[in-house]
A = this chain, B = another copy of it.
């Protein structure tokens, strides 16, 4: 099994931030509800999120999951990383478990409707149909898995107080660009700043506001490294300069090593 990233290599997203970031990046999830005999029932759903991260669903009362929630509000929602890796268990995912309720005052209903339509524009065709209802999942527990060996739970309070990372959803292009055009820089970064001088190939797995997750080939097999930015990013526009700074710092480190400094 691939080794887990070193958790001491600089700041990382908290489990609550990981969970919020996954939900913010998608509009599809898998809902688990209870059938009339108490058996678990999974179904694909479109999803949005309120400002506190509470997931919003729009379900037909005629559909099995809609009937299930009406009978028993207990539910969990699995949100998986978009553009999943070839190895399914290397993907980030989170289970949000709690209770679903229909918003009970007009303001709450309007807020749920607004975020749902923003995330799922196609729902304009049916959101107001009599047999469809908006549901809000009050998250009581979140269980995040970041891939092999990287997992943590967080409480309802931690989840609600967290915010999505501002960089992850916008960094897909930067990740692809680094991997396509700057494999040499990534390798030096892994070797000099990631504590993996044995790396022979480095690919960028993800970028968040604190730094880069790298996947490595090494003589001993698959490896991972974590490299922190000099300063935390606050906006995607800072990605380019921060990546260039990392590459410069790594090359300076390598030169200093070669010069025996």
Contacts and interface: CB of A to CB of B under 8 A. Distances in A.
Interface in A31-64: 31-35, 38-46, 64
A214 interface: no
Contact of A33 (B38, B40, B88): B40
Contacts of A41: 32, 40, 76, 95, 97
A146 to B, nearest CB: 12
B46 A42 contact: no
B1 A97 contact: no
Interface stretch (A77-85, A155-163, A242-250): A77-85
A145 interface: yes
A35 B84 CA distance: 27
Given A44-B78, A64-B143, A39 B97 contact: yes
A199 to B, nearest CB: 20
Interface of A: 1, 27-28, 30-35, 38-46, 64, 74-78, 80, 84, 87-91, 93, 95, 97, 120, 122, 125-126, 143, 145
A122 B147 CA distance: 13
Give the dominant DSSP class at A's interface: strand
Contact of A145 (B44, B88, B97): B44
Given A28-B84, A120-B88, A76 B1 contact: no
B122 A77 contact: no
A46 B84 CA distance: 12
B42 A95 contact: yes
Given A32-B40, A87-B122, 9 more contacts: A30-B78, A31-B42, A39-B74, A39-B76, A40-B76, A42-B42, A44-B145, A45-B88, A89-B120
18 contacts: A1-B125, A1-B126, A27-B88, A30-B42, A32-B41, A32-B42, A33-B40, A38-B74, A39-B74, A39-B75, A40-B41, A41-B95, A43-B78, A44-B80, A44-B91, A44-B93, A44-B145, A89-B122
